[in-house]
Each structure stands twice: as structure tokens, then as C-alpha cells.
Chain A
Amino acid sequence: MWKDLPLYPEQASTIAQPVDLLYFFLIAVSAFFALVISVLIVIFASKYRKSRPDAKSAHIEGSTLLEVIWTVIPLGLTMVMFAWGTILFFDQARMPADALEFTVTGKQWMWKVQHPTGQREINDLHVPIGKPCRLTMTSEDVIHSYYIPAFRTKQDVVAGRYSELWFEASKLGTYDIYCAEYCGTEHSKMVGKVTVMTQQDYEMWLSGAVANETPVQAGERLFTAMRCITCHNSTSTARGPDLTGQFGKDVRLASGASVNFDAEYVRESILNPAAKTVEGFQAGLMPTYQGQLKEEDILSLIAYLKTLGADKSAQGAAAK
């Protein structure tokens, strides 16, 4: 039975192996201390076993030298763990620039995924091998957590925010996806499979799955359909600020502060425009779209706004 028990799940992403290495390092340190401690206990408890009822112990009050030693050595070791773990974590926190962009929406109790090319799937995820994939995730209700043990990665998915996760799959196969944050009755059924495929297979799969609009296309459609474009365009009479090329830049607010034009800010501007007013524009003019746009729509709008200005042709289309 023990032969079949692996000690770690499959290593199917580029970071799996570094994480396991760190894990083994910690096991080694722990095992060392556990061993030293239990051996000392056994030795002391037998060697200094009370001999006679009236036997007396030695007079020892302590030793500053020893205290220093057993403060400094563990401290040093924890600093190594800390540094190593932090480097790994920051590697995972920094998003690669050239990644495939997926969007994920968590909802009691399913995962809704959209591929960069527009295909959607529920619970499952298909990714090509050897390509960084970046997931922009939000929730429609409670907090969930997207967890792929084989990739050694997870990230909470919170309503009202965007969280991001990336990985680069390194081994073909099918692995589990779990929801790791408790989210209610069917929390343990909020699971799926991630399938790592070769580039060709992935493309085959994409062509097989019915492609909807891509997020950018959907965003562009919504931008017109929801009449954003009537105020946000680059004409001189526009009532709202020009959104072209804004994504990622800082915006000055009427209050004098400035905010970064990022996904969260766009979301807030759409759902709750009064929260922050752009310098030089009328507060309260932009209506709220609360209740009119779904989380996925907002994700699409964000995807579209990202491309605005990054790519001149898309900008032209919007401004006309």
C-alpha cells in the first residue's frame, strides 16, 4: 500500500518542481529538529532516570551562550526559508507579459472560463503546453479559490475585485481543479479538470468548441450597445473622458488624488461612477450600470479597453 502512495502530486507546471524542492528543504530541516529533539528526550529520560527517591539533580540555571546559539540558528534557517519562499511567490505574483489571457468567473458552484479566442467552458479548462496562461478572475457571489494542485498554484476569487493567476503547464495530461475556499453547500463539488494539450491539439480543440465572440469583440459590441461611446470618444464635444490608451496609466481625479486606470478602477467607474470623478468632468453625469451588466460583460469591457489605443485600428473603430 505504501508503495503506491506518492509524496507529492504530479509536477505539471514550471513552478511545481521549485515548489517541491523548497518543500523538501523544509522537510529536511523539520526532520532534523524533530529527530534531534526526540533523540535528546529519549537519551535524557533514560540516562537521567530518577535513581533513588531522594536523588538530587545537578544545579544548572541556564546558559546565555546556549540561548544565543539556539536563537540564532533557527533564526538563520527561517530566514533562508523566508527568502526562498518569497522569491518563489513573487515569481508567481508577477504576471508574464506575453501570456494567453483567460477570464474566469466563479459562481456557486461552478467555474466559468473564457478563452482568449472566445470559447467558453464550464468547470474544465484546456490549455496548451509550454505557454504562459494568465487568468483574470472574479466572482459573482461569495469567495472561491481556484486551485490546481498539479500546478502548485491557487488564488482566491473575490466578488468586486479581480485577482490574477498564471502558470505555464509543462506536462501533458489531465489534472484536478478544486475550489479551495469554502463557499457553501456544494463547495466540494465545485471541481473540474484541466487538460494540458500540445499546441496543435489545443488549436484543434478550439476549433471544435464553438467560438463565441472573443472578450474584446464582446467588449466592443457592449461599448456601443450600452452607449458608452456617446460620451467616451475622442471628439472635442465628448462629455466623458477619452478612454483611448488610458489603460495602465494614472488618472488625475477632481479631488486632486490620482488613481491607476486598472481593471478594478474601470469596474468601479462602471458600477459606481460617482465614487471617483475625473478632473475636469462633471460628477454624476455618467449613469451607473449596476444591474445592467454581468460580471462577464464587465470583464469583456475591460478586455476591450485594454486594447483601445494599444492597437490603432481598434481605436479608430471606437472613436468613429
Chain B
Amino acid sequence: MSSTLHTPAQHASATKGAKERDTYLTADYGWKSWLFTVDHKRIAVLYLISIMVFFLIGGTFALLMRAELMTAKGDLFEAETYNKLFTMHGVVMIFFFLIPSIPAVLGNFLVPIMIGTKDLAFPKINLLSWYIYLVGGGATLYVAITGGLDTGWTFYAPYSSTYANTNVAAAAIAVFITGFSSILTGLNFIVTIHKMRAPGMTWFRMPLFLWAQYATSLIMILGTPVLAITVMLLALERTFHIGIFDPALGGDPVLFQHLFWFYSHPAVYIMILPGMGVISEIVACFSRKRMFGYHFIAFSSLAIAIFGFVVWGHHMFVSGQSAYAGFVFSFLTMLVAIPSAVKVFNWIATLYKGQVSLETPMLYALGFIGLFTIGGVTGLFLAVMGLDRHVHDTYFVVAHFHYVMVGGMVMAFMGGMHFWWSKMFGRKYPEAMGQFAAVVIFVGFNFTFFPQFILGYMGMPRRYHQYNDEFTALNVLSSAGATILGTGFLMTIVYFLWSLKWGQKAPQNQWDAKGLEWEKAQSPPPTFNFEDGERIVVTEDAYAYTYEESHTGSGHEVKK
């Protein structure tokens, strides 16, 4: 333990009393100890606070949009304001909330603990990535305040490069900067998982959450640089008018779309894989059962990550790319859907003959399975070229991606936060409130986004500030749903904050779960995660829940 980083925590821990143990939260006080921390758990908390700020900002934009869409006429805002609202909503939600949500908060907190080590491989780089994120986020807020951005989150050229009157270059730079924070996080996770697993923690003993994080990190380091270069070219084009995306100078605006989706399609898997990892943990714990088909779930994450890189053209079936390119992309998209299906079926099989209990995290997990399935299969509608010609750029697409992103990833994030809340902060959230809010969110969500499938098929285009009268009823329904949904989120935030001070003190293993973070680390863990000097040695597979002997050996159930 000879360390050069003499954090006060270490001195303190040497003299600590037997009862009042030091946790990473109390190891040190003062804002400096937070802003200059290299402890992955503190960085996770910093990330948590920052992404919640962005979630509320993005959510507020969403509510303003839904308010405008209550009536067919564009009467609440100017068209331009509306366009800025959905653009900022998309940019903030995707780059500053959803992409960092599970990886940078739960991943940061849990990856080292789950593999039985003290920290990520590069703690300072971890802190750096948070600062980079803040700079990028700050730049985005700057853009939001000084006139906003109205290009859509997709930044399509030549509108963004030549015609838009808003500060596109600054926004592009903000996204460029933020990209590096996600690259660094991914890099850190990959090295940590490769090199720092505790003795005995073999690859196939890792919790599935880690497999998901690993696959996500691969996408982060392989995809994000391409986005970086793309927005850099966009900023150059915008500032110096170099012609790269300008058809008048021989440039090709469709090339921009290819480059953009080369990152942004894989990015949607950055936005779902970590969530799938969380769901695996929750389902296993609340069924008190080994994961069904562990290897299949683990490898399907990798398959999604890899195949995810070759399907980007499905966003461009009607963009003027050749029909043959569309043919290939459509086909590959079908293939990438299969590993997701495999996961869904394995989760459900895990419930079979388990000991299922329905605490809040499990409610979110089961909600996830249903909503993600709907979101996923509607993705297939879009991947079928003959249909996409009709529903492309309509509310059908909007409904699809909210089902996977909000119904999927946000539900997983909520489930994960409830699951590990006591581990992170040592207090329990109020269970009854949790279950109630989960139901409110589930209901509100479906009211908000299900009508949008119908709207989309009826032909209502997306990014429309005003629309035809016949679409009014469904839009009102959707806006009403958004209010319920928002109330649900608000409730959750309130009781989480409340529990920090007044919540019941949590034991080390609130859920009686398996996994190093529950079995070996206190709640909240000390600065170096485990008891001083304890070298973690892993001897069991993940999810080694005790089982009823009588059930072994019956039929094909125990194979593999």
C-alpha cells in the first residue's frame, strides 16, 4: 500500500474507530476535496449531479415543446423558438444526459468495485473526463443562452453549415469537446477491465453489467473519434466556408450524413447496452437466481457493439443513397436486432422458477423489458425499407427512439439508481414511494409516446411547429402524458434528495444480493472500496445464489 497519493483518507483510516467507519463521502470535507478528487466514486457523484442538471434542462425543453404541440396552430412560440427547443432538447438529452448517464455514474461507481480493485486504471484521466464534460456542457449552455441552436441534433449540412443563423460552430465545438470525455471514460473502463480484475475474477465470472460496460466502451473509443472529426469539419466549413459539405462548391451534404451516422448509430447502442447490463443485474437479484444463458447475454453485448458499426445507412434510405446500399444496410440491421432479442428472452427465462420479488428496481426492470421490446420491434419497422419510405422523419421515428431511449435506457437508469442508491449513499429511499413513482412513470410514458406511433403512421412529420388539425387529439393526449411523466420524475428526484438526510440507514447488503459491491464493500464504501488491506479473491461465478437442490438435474434445464 505504499502510495504517493497521500489522501487524508488514508491517515484517517489508520486511526479510525471500529464503529464510525470512514466512507468515501466522509473521508474528507470541503469543496476542494470534491473538485480535485481522483476517487472514482466521488467522480461518479459529480457526474450524477451534472447529468441531473442537464436532464432537468432537457426535460424542461421537452415540456415546453409539448405545451406548444397542444394546439395545431403554432401559437405559443415563434417557429424559430420551437426549432431551438427541439434541437437543444435533443443535444442536451443525448450528449449530456443519456450517453454519460449509466456509464459515467453507475459505471464509474461500480466497475472498480465489481472487479475487486481500488480504482479505475487512470484516476486522474477519469477526473479529467469530468472536467472535459463540464467544459463541453458549459459551452452548450453558452450556446443555449446566446441565441440557441436550430439545426436539429443531427446537424445536417448544408443547413447547419451554410444556412442556419445560429451559433452552429460553437455548438459543434461543444460536442467535439464532450466527445473526448466519453473517449476517456471508455478507455479507462477497457484498461481497467482488462488489467485490474481481482485474482479469480475471470472474464466469465464478471457480472453482466461489466460485459455491457466493456462493449459500450468499445463503441465509445471506436465511434466517438469519427464524430469528433465530423463536427470539426462542420465547424471549419461553417467558419471558413471550405466547401466540404457545400454542394455549390462540389461538396457532398450526404457525406456528412454518412459520417454523422457512422458514429451516431453505434451511439444509440452506447445508449442502451449499459442499461441492458443494469437490467441483467436487477433481474438476477430479484429472481434470486443465476442468469439464464450467461454466456449468450455476455456475447450478445459484444455482437451488438460490433454489428452496430455496419448499419448506419438505415437512417438514410431516402436520402439519395443508392438502393443497393440501402439493401445491405437493411439486411445488416435485421441481424443486429437478433442479439437484443436474445437478451430479452434470457431475462424472461431467468424469472422462471425463481423467487421473484417486485421492489422498485425490479418494477423498472420489468418495465424496461416491455418498453424496450416495443421500441425495438418498431425499430424493425423503420429498418424495413418499404415502410421507412413512409414513416421516415415522422413521429413514428420519434416514438421509436423515445421508447428505446426513455422507455429503455432511462428506465434502466432509474432502476439502477434505486438498486444501488443505498450502496452509493448509505440510505434507503422510501420503498412505497418508489413503487408508486415507478408506476406513474410507466403510465405517463406510455401516454406520452404511444400516440406518437399512430401520429407518425398517419403522416405527421417530426420537427413540425404547427400541424394539421386532424392530429390534435393525439397530440393533446401525448402532452397530457408528458405531464404525468414529468410528475413521476419530479417525485423521484424529491424523495431521493429527501432520503439523503432522512432516509433509513441501509445495511451493507440491502437486497441480499450477490456481487463484490454487496458482499465485500460497506454502504457507502470506504475510499479504497474494501476494508484496508483486504485483497479481494474471487472464488465464485457471478450470481451464485443458493438454489434448491431438488431442482437440479431435471431435463435440459442445467445444460451448459
Contacts and interface: CB of A to CB of B under 8 A. Distances in A.
Interface string B323-347: 1001100110011011001101110
Interface residues of B toward A: which range?
35 or more
Nearest to B254: A158
Interface string B241-285: 000000110101110000000000000000000000000000000
Q: Is the interface of B mostly helix, strand, loop or mixed?
A: helix
Interface in B285-338: 287-290, 292-296, 317-320, 323, 326-327, 330-331, 334-335, 337-338
A278 B292 CA distance: 65
B141 interface: no
A19 B323 CA distance: 17
Nearest to B545: A57
Contacts of B393: 145, 147, 154, 180-182
Contacts of A270: none
A188 B394 CA distance: 12
Contacts of A176: 459, 468
B118 interface: no
Contacts of A192: none
A5 interface: yes
A53 to B, nearest CB: 8
Interface in B516-560: 545-549, 551-552, 556-560
B377 A33 contact: yes
Contacts of B122: none
A188 B344 CA distance: 38
Contacts of B338: 71, 74-75, 78
Nearest to A85: B384
A213 B473 CA distance: 46
B390 interface: yes
Nearest to B290: A61
A37 B293 CA distance: 17
A237 interface: no
A62 B548 contact: no
Nearest to B365: A41
B556 A65 contact: yes
Contacts of B83: 182, 184-185, 187
A55 interface: yes
B467 interface: yes
A58 B158 contact: no
Interface in A21-40: 22-23, 26, 29-30, 33-34, 37-38, 40
A154 B337 CA distance: 25
B386 A85 contact: yes
A80 to B, nearest CB: 10
A179 interface: yes
B337 A74 contact: yes
Contacts of B335: 75, 78
A198 interface: no
Nearest to A31: B377
B68 to A, nearest CB: 11
Nearest to A30: B377
Interface of A: 1, 5-9, 18-19, 22-23, 26, 29-30, 33-34, 37-38, 40-41, 44-45, 48-51, 55-67, 70-71, 74-75, 78-79, 81-82, 84-93, 108, 141-143, 145, 147, 149-150, 152-156, 158-161, 163, 176, 178-189, 272, 275
20 contacts: A8-B458, A26-B381, A26-B387, A37-B348, A37-B370, A44-B348, A44-B356, A48-B352, A59-B547, A59-B552, A70-B342, A81-B380, A86-B384, A141-B163, A142-B156, A142-B163, A147-B461, A155-B320, A187-B83, A188-B79
Interface of B: 74, 79-80, 83, 150-152, 156, 158-159, 162-164, 247-248, 250, 252-254, 287-290, 292-296, 317-320, 323, 326-327, 330-331, 334-335, 337-338, 341-342, 344-346, 348-349, 351-358, 366, 369-370, 373-374, 377-378, 380-381, 383-390, 392-394, 454, 457-459, 461-468, 473-474, 545-549, 551-552, 556-560
